[in-house]
Amino acid sequence: MERLFHPRSLLIVGVSANPRNLARNIVYNLLEFGYDGRVVLMGKEEGNLLGHRIHTEFSEIPANLDLAVILTPAVTVPGIMRGCIARGIRRMVIETGGFSEFSAAGAALEAELLGLAREHEVKFVGPNGISIINRHTGLCLPFMRLRPRDILPGGLSILAQSGGMALTYMGLGRSENVGVAKVVSMGNKTSLDEIDYLDYLRDDAETTVIGLYLESIRNGRGLLDAALRTGKPVLLHKSNTSAASQQIARSHTAALANDDQVVDAACRQFGIHRVRTFRQFINQVKSFNLPPMRGDRLVVISRSGGHAVVAADAASDYGFELVPFSDDFIDFIRGRFRAQVINPTNPLDLGDLFDIDFYVTILAEVLKRSDVDGVLFNHVFQEEVEGESSQRLAETLHRLSREYDKPVALCVFSGERAVARLKANLDFPLFTEPAEGIEALAVSRDSGRRQPAAVPVADVVPAAARLDLPPIREIVAGAAARGSADLFLDEALAVFRAAGMPVTPAVILPPGREMVTAAVDLPSFPLAVKAVAAELSHKSDAGAVALDIDSPEKLAATVADFAARFGSLPGYRGLLVQPMVFGAVELIVGGRRDAAFGPVVVLGMGGIYAEVFQDVAIRLSPLDDAGIDEMIASLRGAPIIAGTRGRPGIDRQALHGVIHAVTGLLAAAPEIRQLDLNPVTFTAAGATVVDGRIFLSA
């Protein structure tokens, strides 16, 4: 990686003297940004560019150059890679497009590049990207002209799957006084991906914050591991989220835990900051340009009462405590008010105080206090009379923030040109809305509270799980033998029972013999009857569930009705009869294998409205007991689980046991793609699995 980001010699392939040639822009960028290493040019025709000879043969190229940058038609790139390898070059940046993102022929070329790279221990960036930048060394390799004044040096490193997004982030950074350290346009991520770059940036002294833009995640757990290893704030802007929402869910778990929700859950679980907009991205980056917010105790200072109220609302939304002022401090401030019509409180309205220099005194007194963790400062100004003093104020607030090692989020309000002019004269970021400043302080606070945790290994069976594997494998093998993609209800319940779950007893009444067997070996009344068939995914919606059957006559009528309505369905297996189960709380517990992150577990308020209320928690599996408790606490229905209004809470150990069993099944039986337990009924004395489904891998 050092040769990628700190090369002392470069070969640029694809250069010509033609003014329309794109590769020549790379040479101009290197000159503009002050790269002082050796530059060698190569193209189809001899010539000269900026004092550099354009070579046409690899035999003319010096051996063992650090890095080659390739911008030629896709069909030529494998041959050029071979030429580079012959000259001892083992690190390359391939900016060319037209590979797997374009066509099958392009995919074949990309596969050829990867084969060559593996054979000769080559690593390359791309293809199909705008290349890399190291702002602190002058390395600037994109094929469009860039200007140093538009890309400030700083601590943000950007790893983007899209070159356009990388440019957008750099532009936003410039407009908000946020500088960059490294930029990588990863393109197709054929040889190197975000995990490789994160591992490099972990030890990069110039990188303080890492921003990721990803359209695809191949190895979610590897990404989480790498992000945690950096020990630095990592922001993820993940797009391309709509495909999962267009799928037709066959189960509650699929509906409640689609791909993007799993990404969200993984980020929350392991401390990656998920962002969804450009503004949110840059505002969260700005939060890490401030000293850390170490607690909830906040002071809001504002030149406008209305802005103060807006800030107070935002502070409440993010769980901040507005620290009350002492009487001595209130008297100290009130003595400087002109009209004595404002009562100094927190938020502190300075609308009656026009001495901007005295604002500094107030802020210093606030920052001295041990019971203050940070400040939001709203500054409204008129440029004509307060432009220069506002700049002095901003610079002094920034200095005091550093001096006291406490964040001061400065929000400025004036005309658009006035704010832009103020920003241009400063070298640190400002905020333009109270909510943005409050969010930045909350991000800083929450980042400091996160405790590093190892990403769980996907195929580890929790010690608390008690699995009887032989019957589980027998049932799964039987379904596979008949070509079924999922288990029948009675089979699913048998698997749950073998996994150590408390499953309600059940009797299956086979096709054609329902009436004969309905009178023997049945549980006591009242009963529930369910039709079992391959096409009955949501039985309640299909009218295939009858509850509260309290007599033999009702049972006989239900059996006859169900047999007539469902007996001709493909894969009809019969009727399942269970005793009615009455519990205080119904929950749904599920799990599935995510393509990027592997096994995940789902917990939510259950029953037929599970998908309506969407009160669900998702975590990567497996979980320890502390992780399960945190998962429970994140539900809006957590007070119901704990017990409320005189009602007892549920048996939490029973819930732990069910979740451990789900995670154990996912780890021990890779054939299981997805499973639902819905509902699981809970009382203070235990749990009962009433219904569920198991889907198998294709």
- Domain borders along the chain are 2-240, 290-449, 456-502+582-698, 505-580
Is-same-fold flag (2-240; 290-449)?
yes
What are the backbone angles phi and psi of residue 677, rounded to the nearest 5°?
-120, 105
Please give the CATH number for the structural domain made up of 456-502+582-698: 3.30.470.20
CA pair distance 293, 522, nearest whole angstrom: 63
The CB-side HSE value for 153 (13 A sphere, CA atoms) comes to 11
Residues β-bridged to residue 498: none
The pLDDT assigned to 332 comes to 76
Whether the Cβ atoms of residue 590 and residue 674 lie closer than 8 Å to each other: yes
Residue type, position 370, single letter: S
**What is the DSSP code string of 89-114?**
--EEEE----STTT-HHHHHHHHHHH
CATH class of 505-580: alpha beta
596 compared with 339, residue with greater pLDDT: 596
Q: Supply 622's token pair.
A: 């497996």
Instruction: Determine which of 62-66, 241-245, 533-537, 692-696 has the lowest per-residue pLDDT on average.
Output: 241-245
507 compared with 158, residue with greater pLDDT: 158
Does position 218 have pLDDT exceeding 50, yes or no? yes
Residues 329-387 pLDDT 10s: 887 777 666 544 456 689 988 876 777 888 898 899 899 999 999 999 999 998 888 88
In angstroms, what CA-CA distances link 449 with 270, 293, 295, 444, 682?
A: 12, 10, 9, 9, 33
Instruction: Determine which of 342-351, 502-511, 631-640 has the lowest per-residue pLDDT on average.
Output: 342-351
Q: How would you class 190 by CB atoms within 10 Å of its CB: exposed for 0-12, middle for 13-18, buried for 19 or more?
A: buried
Q: Which fold has domain 290-449?
A: Rossmann fold (3.40.50)
Residues 105-134 pLDDT 10s: 999 999 999 999 999 999 999 999 999 999
Q: How would you class 493 by CB atoms within 10 Å of its CB: exposed for 0-12, middle for 13-18, buried for 19 or more?
A: buried
Using pLDDT thresholds of 50, 70 and 90, give the confidence band for residue 521.
low
The pLDDT assigned to 255 comes to 42
Pairing of β 52-55 and β 47-49: antiparallel
The pLDDT assigned to 337 comes to 62
What are the backbone angles phi and psi of residue 91, rounded to the nearest 5°?
-130, 130
Residues β-bridged to residue 374: 298
Mean pLDDT is highest, among 37-46, 416-425, 482-491, for 37-46
| Of residues 192, 67, 184, 68, the one with CA closest to residue 123 | 192
CATH class of 2-240: alpha beta
CA pair distance 8, 2, nearest whole angstrom: 10
Whether the Cβ atoms of residue 661 and residue 466 lie closer than 8 Å to each other: yes
What are the backbone angles phi and psi of residue 582, rounded to the nearest 5°?
-115, 120
pTM: 0.89
In angstroms, what CA-CA distances link 499 with 437, 536, 578, 581?
A: 49, 24, 20, 20
Cβ within 8 Å of residue 181, ≥6 positions away: 134, 135, 136, 153, 154, 155, 156, 157, 204, 206, 207, 208
The CB-side HSE value for 432 (13 A sphere, CA atoms) comes to 15
CA pair distance 149, 517, nearest whole angstrom: 84
Using pLDDT thresholds of 50, 70 and 90, give the confidence band for residue 518.
low
The pLDDT assigned to 246 comes to 36
Q: How would you class 225 by CB atoms within 10 Å of its CB: exposed for 0-12, middle for 13-18, buried for 19 or more?
A: middle
